[in-house]
Structure formats: C-alpha cells, structure tokens
Structure 1
C-alpha cells in the first residue's frame, strides 16, 4: 500500500509549485511523478522529453505513448550533441544536464509555467550522479527527493497505481556506452541502440553494449547469464548486430553499471 502520509506530502508539495513542466524520460521515476502531478495539478502540468542522438528512438516512442495514456500535454525538444561534450569528457553528465535543462527551463518560462521538476529520487543522492549539481544550479525541483521516495517505494506505488513502468529496468543514455575522451559519433549511437534493441527483442530485459574501439563489451544481468552463453544464440547475436561483430568481443554476465568506465 502507498504510505498515505508520504503520498499526500508529495501531492501537497506539487500543488505548492503551481504550474509545472516535468522533464519526462518515460522511466519508472518520471512516469510515477507525472501520474501524481496529473492527479494533483490537472491541466497545470506538462511533460517535456528530450530527443537527442544519444537517446534511443524506442525510449522516445515509449515516452510518447505513456504521456498519451496519462492524458498530459507533451512536447519533444530536439537537442544536438553540444560542443562541450563532443569528446565525452568525464563531466559530460553535468554539461549535458546543464544544456538540456536550460532548454526545458526556457520552454517553461515562455509558456507561463512556474518551474521545472525532474524525477530524481532519494536513492540517487547516494549514487554516482554528477548531473545533480546542474539541477541544483538551475533550481530544478526534485519532488521525489524532497519527499524522500526511494526507488523501491516508487516501484511499489507505481504497481498500485497500475503503471506498467513499475518493473521497468533502469536505463542510462548512450553516452555511457562510449569511453571518456572518445569523440561522439551519431553512427556509433545508432549501432549501439540497434544492438541493444535487438537483444531486448529476444528476451534480454537489461543489456548494455559498450564500445571500446574494436572491442564491443556486452553486459547483461545475472539472471540472463545462461541465456547469453547459449552458443547458438550468441552466434545469432553476433551475426545480427554489427557493433558486436567487431574484431574482438568481450561478453560479461555480471551486473551492468551506468556511471561508465
């Protein structure tokens, strides 16, 4: 059951913000936040999704469908690879979030919204999240963090609210698949996206394909270990995914990480 006190605290906090724009990815956190904001604010909420070369197309499509189901206004903003992250620096997350949230804030201001909020949760502050500094500097509000919602609580609440994202695996942008210091290329993102999409289509719920020059490193969850090391299936994966069919391949069955390399 949803903790009535914590849930009501979230509702009241959202109401105190006035008209809000939610940075919406379609993940567990932002979907739950959007649903609660819709209930709390009605038409005074809008979802904004960033479209960039390092966000998979399937993730954008899912975000569009989720917003449609929730009956919320939605806008997609196209964001190019900014010059500051062209060579994938170690502070890429901070630089990227500064750029994209500045764009979202501009849209919110132009359209008469009072603030921008995001889905940062209470667990995130103990994880490697360099982008949080950008949110603080730009005064982006994080209602789930303010109300101390953990990821487990968000999943439980999402399930109770019949949101189909309640058990959605975590997913990080494709910048995390490229080593620091490497030039970012749209064609590399496309290859990585296609490889991960293919592997998900054949039953892998969580997968990361990381590129290191001629080396393609594939990471899956421990639950998928036996499936990955099925010789026939592995041969099929290599044949169907050019980015994995590199000169050398390293297959990891341990849990993936997203802060990168």
Structure 2
C-alpha cells in the first residue's frame, strides 16, 4: 500500500497530530484499551502508551468465535513490542440472542457486551478510562456500535481529533508501526446478511475459509456467508489470481461446508452487506439475497 501524497491534514504535521491524540488521554492517568490488533486499535494503543506512564496501560483483546485465530498472535506480539500488558478475554457476544439473530443493529449488542465488560474491568483494576480505535471515517458509516461506545463513556481519541483512516495509516507509518499497511479486518459476524442467524458453526466455516485464503497470500479477503453459498471477495488486483486458482479455492471452501463457491466480480468492498439497508425500495432480507 502506497502512502504517497497522503498527509495528516492541512497545516498539520505528524508530530502535531500525535500531540493532539496524546493530550486526549494524558489527563486520564491510565487506560484500558479495547485492542483488536487492527491498524486503528494499534495506533490507539501506541498513543496511550506514549501519553501515559509506564505500566498504566492495559490492552484487552476479546478472543471469541468472531475473531480470526491468526490475529491473536499478532496482537500479542504488537502489545509486547510496546511493553504493554496484554490480557485476552472472551466476552461471549453470541450468548445474547439479540446479537445471534443478526438484526441490522447487531453491532450495538456486540459493543454493549464488550464495552460493558471492559468498563467493569477498568473500574475493578483502577484504570481511568476505556479507549477504542474508532476514527473519523467510522462516524460517517453505518456503525450502530458507536452508540454503545457513547453510552458507556468510551474514549475514542482518533475520532475526537478528527483523524481519518488515511491519517491513521500515515501516523502509524510515521511511528514505524508494523501494522501501518495492514488490510482492514472486521469481525467475522460482518460476513452474514442481516437476518441470517449467526452460530459458532457458521463462524467456524468463515474462519477456516478466510484463514486458507490468507495462507495463500491474499491480502484483502471476505468470505460472505449466504447459507450454502460462499461469496468470495478479494482485492480488485487479486481477482484474476483468484479466478485462476478457482479449483483449489472451491475445493477448500466446499470442504469447509459450503455447497457452492462464487467469486464476486466487483471485488472487496468494505461493508458490502450494508447495501441492503440503502437500496431503494428494498429491505434487508432474512433469506438468501440475490448475489452480485
């Protein structure tokens, strides 16, 4: 991923931007950081570690069925590189039927569970606040989880400072963070059309399929779960390769439990399943949607 011509805002410098971010958490004294290991939460954790005294930052990762297994080791390694204590928990979002039914506001129930648990943990352990990695661009997307964050007083320094996704990557690169060009990676529940129930078995199918694609070197991958059909999204520059390797890919995804495997010709698109929310005259289906 090229960072040419990417700046950190008109009239701003990376150092100045980082000072803005650090000031947002500095007066909290200590922080518990909701840490997924993605580029946003990595920058948020690095900012907290820079702004707060040594030993006053705790990174917490929720390792459950919606989290790719390979991500955990990378998250642990990153926290260790910063000298930050790292705790792995399981917040059991699937235990909430409101979440498992996969309504359009599914993320609200997920984040309510996560942030409630982290808020309680922060109080018990004496941390001054809970921090997450939400950025400015998240405010313009359909993100019901942000409502839960506001309700529970989560501090989002990147969002507060108006730092965009492009700026996140620029600042991460400036700090020398190895995750600066890491592909976007949402929780595995985002692979299911709204209304389709989410189960551990279905999540395991998706996790196996995506881990396989990642092991093959594909950078930007989503395996959308449409019942018996796997709709594979890869980066536009990887479409030709995926088609050329279609037999191997199909065999692996069928072995994971899918009856049919399709390759989305539009390529990867963040939040592609949200299209059902804005399509004129359409409502999210609770059955298999038309593929395309």
Check whether TM > 0.5.
yes
Alignment of 1:115-134 (within 5 A): 115-134=129-148
Q: Within the alignment, does 1:79 sit opposite 2:91 as a pair? A: yes
Shift of 1:77: 1.4
Q: Within the alignment, does 1:156 sit opposite 2:156 as a pair? A: no
| Equivalent residue, structure 2, for 1:252 | 264
Answer whether contact 1:120 1:144 (CA < 8 A) is retained.
Answer: yes
Alignment of 1:1-261 (within 5 A): 2-41=13-52, 42-80=54-92, 81=94, 82-230=96-244, 233-242=245-254, 246-254=258-266, 255-258=268-271, 260=273
After superposition, give the CA deviation of every residue in 1:49-103 in whole Å (9 maximum; x if it has no partner): 1112111111122111111111101111112212221211111101110111100
Tell me how far apart the structure 2 counterparts of residues 65 and 114 of structure 1 sit (CA, whole Å). 25
Aligned length: 259
Instruction: Give the TM-score taking structure 2 as reference length.
Output: 0.84
Answer whether contact 1:192 1:243 (CA < 8 A) is retained.
Answer: no
Shift of 1:243: 6.0
SS in 1 for 2:178: coil
SS in 2 for 1:242: helix
SS in 1 for 2:27: helix
SS in 2 for 1:241: helix
* CA spacing shift, 1:35–1:17, aligned 2, 3 Å: same
Tell me how far apart the structure 1 counterparts of residues 255 and 68 of structure 2 sit (CA, whole Å). 15
Tell me how far apart the structure 1 counterparts of residues 174 and 31 of structure 2 sit (CA, whole Å). 24
Answer whether contact 2:205 2:257 (CA < 8 A) is retained.
Answer: no
SS in 1 for 2:219: coil
Q: CA RMSD of the aligned region, Å?
A: 1.6
Please identify, of 53-62 and 137-146, the stretch whose mean Cα deviation from structure 2 is larger. Answer: 53-62
After superposition, give the CA deviation of every residue in 1:186-211 in whole Å (9 maximum; x if it has no partner): 12111111111111111210111111
Please identify, of 31-40 and 165-174, the stretch whose mean Cα deviation from structure 2 is larger. Answer: 31-40
After superposition, give the CA deviation of every residue in 1:163-217 in whole Å (9 maximum; x if it has no partner): 1100001011111112222222212111111111111111210111111111111
Tell me how far apart the structure 1 counterparts of residues 208 and 252 of structure 2 sit (CA, whole Å). 10
Gaps of 5+ in 2: 1-6, 8-12, 275-292
SS in 1 for 2:254: coil
